[in-house]
Amino acid sequence: MIVAMKRILLLCISVTLLILFGCEKEPQSQGDVPVVKIRGNAIFVSRTTVQLAAEVVGIEESDVLEKGFVYGVGNCCQDTVLCDGVGFFTNISGLQENTTYVFKAFAANSIGMGWSETMSFVTEDNDLPKVEMKSVSVTGATARVEGSVTDDGGLLVLERGVCWSLSPDPTMDDSLVVDGSGMGDFSCYITGLSYGTTYYVRLYATTSKGTVYSEQREFVVDCMTVTVNGFSFNMICLHGGTFPMGAQQDNPYGGNYDEEAYIDEAPVHDVCLDSYFIGETEVTKHLWNIVMSGNSGNSSINDYPVEQVSWDDVVNEFLPKLNAMTGYEFRLPTEAEWEYAARGGNKSGDYRYSGSDSITDVGYYYGNSGRKTHPVKQKRPNELGLYDMSGNVCEWCSDWYGEYENSPSVNPQGPSSGWYRVHRGGSWNIVARLCRSTSRDCNVSRFSSETIGFRLTLSK
C-alpha cells in the first residue's frame, strides 16, 4: 500500500515538472552542412565592379570555417573570392564591362560545404568621358583655359586638352593644345593671340570609345603685337574709365587710405581716362638697340629693361625713331594713365603694389633684387597682364611734377610747366614703400640712372 502511494506521488511530480518546464528539444543533427542564401542578388553593379551579399542559415556563424563566392562568364564559375571576418559580402573588381556573369555563394563547416542557388548580373557598358570647363583668363596675348575630366566613362582617357578657332564649336580638327591624359584637373595655355579677335574655345577628352567636348567659351584679346625688324612686343589695351587717383593717410575711413602714403599722393581725386594701350613690359635693351642702332646688341642682356636713359633721350630720340619705323605714334604715359594701369584698370583688385599686396610677388626691390636689375616678366603680372610696374626700374611719365588738384579731371596731362619730370613704380634699389602704385617720384629731364627706364603708351 505504501509502495503504491510512493509511485503515485512520483508520477504526479513528473507531470507537474513537465507542465512547468515543457519538453526538451531534440538535438540538431550533427550531419547538416550550411544553408546559404543570396541576399538581394547583385547589390551594386558598375562597369567593372560588383558588390555581392549572402547569408548562412541554420547554424551559428562561428561554426562556419570558410565562406565566399564563385563567379565567371557564361555558365562557368572559375574564379573564387573569400569573405573574411564578420558578415557575408564582398566587392569584386576588374570585371569586363557590358558582360553577363554568373555566381553563387558557398559556406563550409566541419561537416561539408553548402551552396546557394546560381544567379547572374550584367556589368554596365562604358560611356564617353565627361569634361568640364572651369575658367578662361586672358593675360596679354595668352589665354589660360582651366578644366577637369570628372569621369573617364570606364576607359582610359587617352588625350585631353583645349581646341579653339575663330568660329563657334571648335573641334580637334581646329587648333589645339594637348595637355596629356587621364582624369583630374588640368590647364592649357593658348599663346600668340591677335588683338581685337574673338576666339571660341572648348576642352576635349578622348577615349577608345570617342571624343567629348565641354561647353564653349568665347573671349576677345585686348593685346596688340607690334613687330620692329623681327622683334615683337605686346601692347595691352586698357578700357577707359574713372578711378580715384592718389592715396591719403589722414582718414582711415576715407577712400584710398594708406598709412604709408606720402603727402604728395593726396588729395585723392577722381580721374576719367579714355581707352589706350600700354606696354606689357618696360622697354627692353633689345628693342632700344634695334631702334637706336639697327641691331639687337648683346643677346645675353636683351631681356633686361633698358636703363640709364633720360627723359630727354626717350622723348627726343627714341620715340621719333620708333614711330618712323612702325607708323604708330608711341609716347610716354601720363602719370594718370600709368597709375590706372598699375592699379589694374577696370579689373583692379585695389592692391598696394601692382597686382598684389606683397611686393615679392610682383617686383624686384631693395629686399629681393640682389642690388641689380632683372629680366622682364620674371614676376607675376597684375590684373591686366602688365609686368614689373612695381620695382625693377622706375618708369618715366610724360608729366611735369606738381601737386594734385582736388577736382575731377578728364585725361589730365599734369602741370603745364615745371622743374622735374615724373617717374613712377620704384626700382631694384628702392624700399617697398616707394614701389606702391600711388607713390610718386621725379627728376630733371636730363637725368639718367641705372634705376630708371620707361614703358610705351599708345592712344587708342
4-8, 57-61, 120-124 — which is least confidently predicted? 4-8
On average, the pLDDT of the chain sits at: 89
173 exposure class (CB count in 10 Å sphere: 0-12, 13-18, 19+): exposed
Sequence-distant (≥ 6) Cβ neighbours of residue 122 within 8 angstroms: 45, 98, 99, 100, 101
**Could you read off the pLDDT of 411-432 as tens digits, one per residue?**
999 999 999 999 999 999 999 9
Quickly tell me which residue has 580638327 as its cell: 173
Instruction: For residues 201 and 237, state if they share a domain.
Output: no
Percent share of the chain, pLDDT over 90: 70
Is 188 domain-assigned? yes
**pLDDT at res. 20:** 37
Q: How far is CA 228 from the centre of its chain?
A: 35
Q: What is the pTM of this model?
A: 0.64
Instruction: For residues 145 and 195, state if they share a domain.
Output: yes
Number of structural domains (the chain) is 3
Is 179 domain-assigned? yes
Instruction: For residues 330 and 430, state if they share a domain.
Output: yes
* Contact present, 51 and 43 (Cβ < 8 Å): yes
Instruction: For residues 265 and 386, state if they share a domain.
Output: yes
Instruction: For residues 314 and 438, state if they share a domain.
Output: yes
CATH code, 154: 2.60.40.10
Cell, residue 432: 617697398
Instruction: For residues 412 and 316, state if they share a domain.
Output: yes
Instruction: For residues 316 and 389, state if they share a domain.
Output: yes
Last residue of a domain, one of 122, 152, 179: 122
Taking every pair of Cα atoms in the chain, the longest distance, rounded to a whole number of angstroms, is: 152
**pLDDT at res. 8:** 39
Would you say residue 130 has pLDDT above 90? yes
Would you say residue 23 has pLDDT above 60? no
Is 453 domain-assigned? yes
Last residue of a domain, one of 221, 245, 266: 221
Is 76 domain-assigned? yes
Last residue of a domain, one of 106, 122, 138: 122
Instruction: For residues 263 and 354, state if they share a domain.
Output: yes
Is 180 domain-assigned? yes
Instruction: For residues 237 and 300, state if they share a domain.
Output: yes
Distance CA 236, CA 44 (A): 56
State phi, psi for 19 to the nearest 5 degrees. -70, -40
**pLDDT at res. 192:** 84
Would you say residue 21 has pLDDT above 50? no
Is 198 domain-assigned? yes
Instruction: For residues 137 and 267, state if they share a domain.
Output: no
CATH code, 293: 3.90.1580.10
Is 3 domain-assigned? no
Identify the band that residue 27 occupies on the pLDDT scale cut at 50, 70 and 90: very low
Is 246 domain-assigned? yes
Structural domain for 148, as ranges: 130-221
Instruction: For residues 209 and 344, state if they share a domain.
Output: no
The letter for the amino acid at 432 is: A
Instruction: For residues 202 and 305, state if they share a domain.
Output: no
